[in-house]
Structure 1
Amino acid sequence: MGGYILSKVLDLNLNEKQFLLLKEYIDSKRDTQGVLMQALHEAQEIFGYLPIEVQKFISHELDVPLAEVYGVATFYTQFSIEPKGKHKIGVCLGTACYVKSSQQVLDKLSKELNIKVGGTTDDNLFTLEATRCLGCCGLAPVMMIDQDVYGKLEVNKIPEIISKYRE
């Protein structure tokens, strides 16, 4: 695998109920068009992401090559093959926000959370992502934590904002 190390492995025994739910869903959709996409969406809803164990399960259940399942799961941005944190932080790097120093906001969050962009904290509490326009250009720079919008951000306010979500 070219030195790639799977950081987290899904325990099949601890997730038996989730796999049963996914099997029931697949069985109910088996004869519909686009069943692979539907199964991947449902799997991500159930598991929160699409680890290789879930991809193998879908491959087996649908009799579709694992390479095809993996290809679809990695091609579409709505799917994630890595676990996401409880709180998803998106920092806008669109033009208006970038001009107003959103890169410094992103850098501060990365340092504060001790993760790189696209990463998830070890405690699975936060996932940090760079996004494009959030549609709040008048509030630049902007970030979202889950559904909460923070505009006119000041870098020095980041620790205070993050602390609200650690409680």
Structure 2
Amino acid sequence: MGSNQGDPEENLNYALTLLEEYGDEITLKAFSHYYLTEPQGEIKDQPWFTNQVIKLEIDAEIWAPAGFLSTCTAIEAKMGRERQEPGGPRPIDMDIIAWGDTVIEDNDFLTLPHPRAKERAFVLVPLKEVEPGFVFPDGTTVNQALENIKYRQEGNKIWQD
């Protein structure tokens, strides 16, 4: 999850609260610290993002990945996110990084694992904190993915070109 409008930490907490309102179907298992990340992509003139990775246990008999992503999109809309330019400022951004070993490709709505997860330090650093032994379905470990990208970290701040 990420936010760079309003009070980003409060936005992340509120999004998590909205997820938890689904009751026993969704259980929070772990969450990372907050990480401050410089904006990525073409839109650099905006506030830094506050990012966090959460690990959830989701009842697979009730939820499919696309349905869960639809719920995340609805939470984003409820919190005021307007779909504009990719990479622009937003009160909340929620993505599914992985869904167990599930691989979904060539889908306009959802690709799993997230197609850019292994390229983004703001995903990999908190992911490693939450799940140090994480392995992507292709066999790449979180440590290997981090070794393959150029980034700099000082405390909870992450820079990446």
State TM-score, norm by structure 2.
Answer: 0.25
Structure showing greater Rg: 1
Which one scores higher on RCO, CA 8 angstroms, separation ≥ 6? 2
Q: Greater share of helix residues, 1 or 2?
A: 1
